[in-house]
Amino acid sequence: MARSALKSLQSLKDLAGRASRSGGRPADETASDPLIGELRAALSPDRVRSDGAQKALMKKDASVFEGGVSGPLCYPESTAEVQAIMKLAEKYDRGVVPRGAGTGLAGGAIPLGAPIVIAATKMNHILEVDLDNRIAWVEPGVINLDLTKHLAPMGFHFAPDPSSQQVCTIGGNVANNSGGPHCLAYGVTNAHVVALEVVLPSGEVTVLGGLDAEPLGYDLRGAFVGSEGTLGFTTKVAVTITPNAPDVRTLLLSFDTVRDAANTVSAIIAAGIVPAALEVMDQRITQAVEAYVGAGYPTDAGAVLLAEVDGLADGIKIDAERIGDIGRQHGATNVRQAETDHERALLWKGRKTAFGAIAQIAPDYYLHDTVVPRSKLADVLEQIYEIADRHDVLVMNVFHAGDGNLHPLLVFDGREEGKLDAVHAAGAEIVTASVAAGGVLSGEHGIGVEKQAYMDLMFTDDDMDHQARLRRAFDPVCRANPGKVLPMGHSCADIAALRSVPADVWG
């Protein structure tokens, strides 16, 4: 299975290669191009860009995947403008790629086949906060953390808190059904979205879901959340807002081994405690973070567990004590509780800037994302270290342990001959090992182009054809984010969309 996944990954790289051989500049993208003229008339000249510099910025996201080729880049300011773009995409038979902040790690926002890029950047308004009903309506380009900052004086926050929350958008969170350290108790994005206004690839505007507790009919909102831009463009989101907990306690537990930390996580959940967060970092990443921000982590520990409980003071005092006891029973060498808000913030700063710390070690990293049953965490982690060693790739582990959501971080220098291939080969084995342990392909980063090659590890041909049929119910010609999620062969219209651009784009 690993071999077939690698083979498919190779075809993906070939596909991307075909795109990049064009030089990244479709022949028709000149100022006199009628599509650009019509887009500029519908928006405004300064909000439709086709210059090389802008398009070069759009051809990648935060993943390691290269080779995107962007068509015109549009910055709409309203639903009506998104609708106008979709209509023009239909008229000129072009694909469209929704884009938020481009922090995705699975290549979801990479433009394949010179599609029109629709960037949500200028649709960044918090439209309404309804405290009585605990709902906020926001535009898709609102930055995740900006919503929480806006709500803070009212005593509320937006619960999903990806580590990228300082830059990623709510639209991107919805598309990837993003998670974060505090989603263990509160649930990932899907649990916080009640309604979506979307522009379908036909140009039709519709609202999925609703503010009622039980909206009528099929849960099409649920189908749209996590659809990675393949069903249309989100123009407004109604999210639930969460009251800030009256009290919070944050603990840092040190262990000699990652196995002890992982076993402690399983034991905490088995004891019936559902902490707000349970994050594990191994020694390599802890040392990197400590050198980077000085968060107060012990650099001699084999692993640390960051555990947070929130709620009423009396209850969480007991939970914190129980977590400490369970940790000690499973080998914790030290249990420390943050004494001040500053100390707590520093511990979280360390966790949330872990990926930034890597720059001191090597110029490149590939952050993987798989889920395994919690009880298998320790075994799979041992396999991951063995796989990385065998491929001579440095691996660090920092992960949402409570969810069983692993994030092996492969750290490397892409300028070294053959290194990227070794990283991909190690990654393929890690994904395969996670699925073999009863896990799944992605916990939160999505499939994008990254995991397409692995879809057959989890889904039969029939499963994928059913997914393609759902997709075509929203988008009969696969105009929205063509070439993503479903592997070629399960969504033939993707190929049509990719080929609807001038031949020389593909070389």
Ligand X SMILES: Cc1cc2nc3c(=O)[nH]c(=O)nc-3n(C[C@H](O)[C@H](O)[C@H](O)COP(=O)(O)OP(=O)(O)OC[C@H]3O[C@@H](n4cnc5c(N)ncnc54)[C@H](O)[C@@H]3O)c2cc1C
In the bound state with ligand X, the residue whose beta carbon lies nearer, of 8 and 176, is 176
Q: DSSP state, 205?
A: E
Name which of 171 and 302 has its Cβ closer to ligand X.
Answer: 171
Residue among 8, 83, 169, 442 that touches ligand X (CB under 6 A): 169
User: What is the nearest approach in angstroms of ligand X to the Cβ of residue 102?
Assistant: 4
Please tell me the count of residues contacting ligand X according to CB under 6 A.
36
Closer residue to ligand X in complex, CB, 302/348:
348
**CB distance 233 to 198 below 8 Å:** yes
Q: Which is nearer to ligand X, 110 or 335 (CB)?
A: 110
Q: Minimal distance in Å, beta carbon 201 to ligand X?
A: 11
Shortest distance (Å) from residue 267 CB to ligand X: 24
Which member of 102, 327, 439, 483 binds ligand X (CB under 6 A)? 102
Q: Concatenated DSSP letters for 271-329?
A: TT---SEEEEEEHHHHHHHHHHH-----TTSSEEEEEEEEESHHHHHHHHHHHHHHHHH
CB of 223 to ligand X, least distance (A): 13
Q: What share of the chain is helix, strand, coil (3-state, %, to 5)?
A: 40, 20, 40
Measured between alpha carbons, how far is 254 from 306 in angstroms, rounded to an integer? Answer: 9
Among 173, 242, 266, 383, contact with ligand X (rule: CB under 6 A): 173
Among 67, 180, 209, 404, binds ligand X (CB under 6 A): 180
Positions 145 through 164 that interact with ligand X (CB under 6 A): 162-164
Q: How far is the CB of 164 from ligand X (least distance, A)?
A: 3
100 interacts with ligand X by CB under 6 A: yes
In angstroms, how far is CA 91 from the centroid of its own chain?
32
- Asked whether position 105 contacts ligand X by CB under 6 A, the answer is yes
Helix (H, G, I), strand (E, B) or coil at 50: coil
Tell me whether residue 316 or residue 398 sits nearer to ligand X (CB atom): 398
Q: Identify residues 188-227 at the interface with ligand X (CB under 6 A).
A: none
Cα distance between residue 427 and residue 175, in whole Å? 24
Contact status, residue 267 vs residue 327, Cβ threshold 8 Å: no
- Under the binding rule (CB under 6 A), the answer on residue 355 touching ligand X is yes
Q: What residues are paired with 305 via a beta bridge? A: 253, 280
Six token digits for residue 283 = 């020694």
In DSSP notation, 341-407 reads: HHHHHHHHHHHHTHHHHGGGT-SEEEE--EE--GGGHHHHHHHHHHHHHHTT-EEEEEEEGGGTEE-
Binding of residue 481 to ligand X (CB under 6 A): yes
The first and second tokens of residue 381, run together, are 């982690």
Query: Using CA atoms, how far apart are residues 392 and 389, in angstroms rounded to an integer?
Result: 5
Select 180 or 402, whichever has its Cβ closest to ligand X: 180
- Pick the binder of ligand X from 81, 308, 444, 475 (CB under 6 A): 444
Contacts to ligand X by CB under 6 A: 61-62, 97-105, 108-109, 120, 140, 162-164, 168-169, 171-173, 175-176, 178-180, 228-229, 233-234, 355, 444-445, 481
